[in-house]
Amino acid sequence: MSDKSDDAISEKILNAAKNNPKGISAKDVAAAVPELSSAELVAAINKLLQQGLFDLYNQGGSLLYKLKNQNTKTAIKGADNEEKVVFNLIEEAGNKGIWIRDIRHRSNLANTQLTKVLKSLEGKKVIKAVKCVNASKKKVYMLYNLEPDRSISGGAWYQDQDFESEFVDILNRQCLRFLQQRADKIKNNPRGPIVGRTQSFATAAEVQKYITDLGISKVKLEVEDVITILNTLVYDGKAESNVYPDGSKVYRAIESLIPPPGLVQVPCGVCPLVYKCCSTGLITPQDCKYMSAWLDQ
Amino acid sequence: MTHQLGRVVSQILGRHFGEIVQQVGNDLFMYGSKTIGMIVKTTGLPRTQVIESLRTLLKFDLATFEADATVEYKLNSENILLLIRYPRYLLQMKSKYGSEAEMIVEELLQQASCTATVLLVTVMNKYKDDKEKNLNIVNLKDTFISLATAGYIQQAPVAELKDGSEIPILVPVATIVPDLDVRDLMQAMTSNLADCKDNTYWKVNYDRFHLDFRDDMMIKAITRRIDENAGELMRLMLEQMYLSSSAWAVESSPAAACDLRDLALRVHDRPLLHAHVDHYLKVLEENGASFIRRAGDAGGGQYVVRTKRAAEQLLEALLDHTVTERLGSKAARIFRLIRSKKYIEEEDIQKNAMLPNKECKELTYKLLEEHLISVQPMRKAASAGGSAKAIYLYHVKLYDAAHAARELCLRAAHNVSRVSSATRAAHARLLDKQRRVRSIVHGMRVRGEPQQNIDDVLETLTPPELSAVSGAERRLRALSAAELELDRALFLISCYFAFPR
Ligand code: SF4
């Protein structure tokens, strides 16, 4: 497909969209350019999305493409040149946002001036500042109507840029419970261990469904998110994962190979002072409180 | 040879052989090897006592000597550690061969080494009044023979004199299962033991026990991970392994699936195993913590037992438990994460472990501090800006971590044994009194004296004394149980060290 015909197609689609300010569905697009195969169509739409000409909406389960509101552009109208430059930089950055230092660098504006411009743009609700999860001090700017990228917002695990470790803990526990419910299926299964093993495995999708049905999560968790949680179980040593022939990941709860060893059954094994504990001196086994408490229990 | 080992060894020697041997042991441990004269000089003990101590140590294989121009003595600390394992040996004997075997091994452990005749006759005489045990010399002899056949006891090395030298060297000999004549034994029982002609000496073969313990660990682990049938299969594979490979080989030589199948079918009471042998093999291979591996397809599949890998896996499980209990389950998560990724950057740890930044860093540094993980700085090639930032890769050096765990175990073992000797010392008078009362009462019961008199004797222990003494006894019991458990952990770690790195 040459560039020229590419442009022609884009134009046709754009025209169709212009005529339907409420948005057009994929079917409408196909009707506007009937000569394209579905793969080519997807490519063409993706390109337009990339150029930022389209917005994507989810309406009643079907996707709608809507020509981008020109408001943002108009809001800029009446702004001075500096604002325009800064706006363009921020727009370019998309939903990954742009760091203030990079703006300064590339716009060649002085610090104070830049702050003023940003303030004013923020005031007009054209742009917003978003805190970055992996660097607490770092703020990035992006257009007001954009949803921050996962790398910036951290996805489901972050609320206002704070990592929600309790939420993760709860999910971790719930996932484990789900896996444990079926873990015993492998033991002495009358239909043999392979069937038993299959029964004790759970796919990530099953776990996701279980978690969703529990209703403990306010945000919608994708299968990917659940896999992240399930992986923490693997690192906890409480589950193992396998891959099914069709490529989907499955998990099953396991127990440690050995019961708690003797080392952790005596106070010294868990004692924070163990490296300071000597035959003589302030900390000695003979007058150890932990020891006597343990022996008297 | 670490400081911690020295502390434990000293404690053990003190408890089993008293203060003088302990002093000599400490001295030997500190200096590596020494002559008698040197020991006398540094310890300040009389020469006769030093010699006496050395004799004890040598007798129990707790020290060795090397003869050059002078004779230098050396402590065998590994064997001293085994002294705390004795109860476990006995238990193993009792459960596997019954109480007669237990008595034989117990006697042999006490004697260090002795001839079959003396051994059996002593055991017989010791327990002949005991109606419950109901010993008879024929059974005892048979047990002895089966123990020798199974290798739990072996012939002691014999001393040989080299030409022109007065110092004997010990030469190990191959064990020949003896043919003991019951009539001779009977005769020896009535006559004086000193003039019996038997001169083949026997001793306990610790390694044989250790194989049992190791197998047991592996089988239990598989049972926990899959089920009893898989555990049984594991046992069969290990049995098969001993037929064809050396016990501490890194991997066994391959066993054919059809042989294993035949063996499995011969096991009683395992209908599930009979019905699904092949499935069990497959599950064991895929989900059995990589204890076994499929080595080829010949003869319906060849399987190999990966003993070294198993030891590593078990060690890792031990480390995981230790980290969990010491630093919490989050730290254990980080620890396992680092281990499974081999090398990992700090940022990725946080991302994968799903922990808040600060907590994650803190735990990582704690792990580092306890020598359970290590860090490897890597310089990135200087970028154009000249900011050559080093990245730090975390990883687990299993060998080092195992050492750290071993040190911890030794520290704990020392502390436990220290506390128990302190407890014993603090209640020495009472414990002694109780022992005396008990033996008097026992004597009176045997003589059939009236209950009234017995009660009188019993009352010499006042109620507060009784409660103090029973408290102390309870503590001592808890401590020795703890010691046994610690020894199990030490054994697991030593299994890992038994393989080449
Ligand atoms: S004896 Fe007490 S202080 Fe010393 S290591 Fe053990 S528990 Fe800690």
Indicate if the pLDDT at residue B147 is higher than 80.
yes
A274 lines ligand 1 (CB under 6 A): yes
What mean pLDDT do residues B354-373 have? 85
Taking an 8 Å cut-off on Cβ atoms, the answer to whether B317 and A260 are in contact is no
Look over chain B and give the mean of its residue pLDDT values, rounded to a whole number.
82
Could you tell me the pTM of the whole model?
0.77
Please give, rounded to a whole number of angstroms, the shortest distance from the CA of A154 to a CA of chain B: 10
Given a contact cutoff of 8 angstroms between Cβ atoms, the answer to whether A138 and A107 are in contact is no
User: Is B23 in the same domain as B60?
Assistant: yes
- Structural domain boundaries enclosing B441: 402-497
CATH of A74-153, one of 3.30.70.1400, 3.90.660.20, 3.40.50.2300, 1.10.10.10: 1.10.10.10
Beta strands in chain A (DSSP E): 24-25, 54-59, 62-67, 98-99, 127-131, 139-143, 158-159, 162-163, 202-203, 239-243, 249-253
Residue B90 falls inside a structural domain = no
What mean pLDDT do residues B12-33 have? 86
User: Is B447 in the same domain as B492?
Assistant: yes
Q: Atom 2 in ligand 1: which residue has the minimum CA distance? A: A288
Residue B488 falls inside a structural domain = yes
Q: What is the CATH number of the domain that holds B285?
A: 1.10.10.10
| pLDDT tens column, A87-98 | 888 887 777 778
User: Is B123 in the same domain as B194?
Assistant: yes
Angle at B73 between CA B67 and CA B77, to 5 degrees: 130
| pLDDT tens column, B399-438 | 888 888 888 888 888 888 888 888 888 888 888 888 888 8
User: Is B102 in the same domain as B199?
Assistant: yes
User: Is B263 in the same domain as B352?
Assistant: no
User: Is B56 in the same domain as B104?
Assistant: no
Contact list in A for residue B324 (CB cut-off 8 A) is 264
Indicate if the pLDDT at residue B216 is higher than 80.
yes
For residue B30, the CA-to-ligand 1 centroid distance in Å is 24
User: Is B216 in the same domain as B197?
Assistant: no
Burial class (CB in 10 A: 0-12, 13-18, 19+), B332: buried
What mean pLDDT do residues B330-347 have? 86
Contact list in A for residue B418 (CB cut-off 8 A) is 279, 285-286
Q: Which fold has domain A1-68?
A: Arc Repressor Mutant, subunit A (1.10.10)
Taking an 8 Å cut-off on Cβ atoms, the answer to whether B326 and A190 are in contact is no
Residue B88 falls inside a structural domain = no
- So what's the pLDDT on residue B104? 85
A269 lines ligand 1 (CB under 6 A): no
A1-68 against A74-153: fold identical: yes
| Domain residue ranges of chain A, discontinuous segments joined by + | 1-68, 74-153, 155-295
| pLDDT tens column, A139-153 | 778 887 777 766 666
User: Is B200 in the same domain as B127?
Assistant: yes
Closest CA to B210 of B218, B222, B202, B221: B218
Cβ of residue B416 closer than 8 Å to a chain A Cβ: yes
Alpha helix stretches (DSSP H) within B192-276: 206-225, 228-244, 257-266, 271-275
Q: Give the domain-ending residue among B257, B281, B305.
A: B305
Q: Give the domain-ending residue among B204, B228, B260.
A: B204
Indicate if the pLDDT at residue A4 is higher than 60.
no
User: Is B360 in the same domain as B379?
Assistant: yes
- So what's the pLDDT on residue B129? 67
Given a contact cutoff of 8 angstroms between Cβ atoms, the answer to whether B175 and B145 are in contact is no
Q: What is the CATH number of the domain that holds B113?
A: 1.10.10
Q: Give the separation between CA B55 and CA A270, rounded to whole angstroms.
A: 39
Given a contact cutoff of 8 angstroms between Cβ atoms, the answer to whether A192 and B279 are in contact is yes
Indicate if the pLDDT at residue B122 is higher than 60.
yes
Annotate A136-175 with DSSP letters as a single string: TT-EEEEETTPPPPHHHH-GGGEETTEE-HHHHHHHHHHH
Please give, rounded to a whole number of angstroms, the shortest distance from the CA of A182 to a CA of chain B: 13
CATH of A155-295, one of 2.40.50.140, 2.130.10.10, 3.40.50.720, 1.10.10.10: 1.10.10.10
Least confident of B143-147, B329-333, B459-463: B459-463
**Which B residues 68-127 touch A at CB under 8 Å?**
none
pLDDT band, residue B382 (cuts 50/70/90): low
Q: Which amino acid is at A68?
A: K
What's the gap between Cα A267 and its chain centre?
Answer: 42
Q: Give the domain-ending residue among B351, B371, B396.
A: B396
Contact list in B for residue A260 (CB cut-off 8 A) is 321, 325
**Which B residues 420-479 touch A at CB under 8 Å?**
422, 474-475, 478-479
Residue B320 falls inside a structural domain = yes
Atom of ligand 1 nearest to the CA of A285: 1
B4 lines ligand 1 (CB under 6 A): no
Please give, rounded to a whole number of angstroms, the shortest distance from the CA of B479 to a CA of chain A: 8
Residue B89 falls inside a structural domain = no
pLDDT band, residue B344 (cuts 50/70/90): confident
- Closest in B286, B352, B487 to A231, CB measured: B352
Cβ of residue A34 closer than 8 Å to a chain B Cβ: no
User: Is B122 in the same domain as B198?
Assistant: yes
Residue B151 falls inside a structural domain = yes
Indicate if the pLDDT at residue A187 is higher than 60.
yes
ipTM over 0.85: no
Burial class (CB in 10 A: 0-12, 13-18, 19+), A36: buried
Residue B347 falls inside a structural domain = yes
A141: left (phi over 0), alpha (psi -120 to 50) or beta: beta
Indicate if the pLDDT at residue A1 is higher than 50.
no
Cβ of residue B310 closer than 8 Å to a chain A Cβ: no
Number of domains, chain B: 5
Q: Give the separation between CA A51 and CA A171, rounded to whole angstroms.
A: 38
| pLDDT tens column, B168-187 | 777 777 777 777 777 777 77
User: Is B104 in the same domain as B187?
Assistant: yes
Q: Give the separation between CA B358 and CA A173, rounded to whole angstroms.
A: 22
User: Is B104 in the same domain as B197?
Assistant: yes
For B297, the token pair is: 């397809």
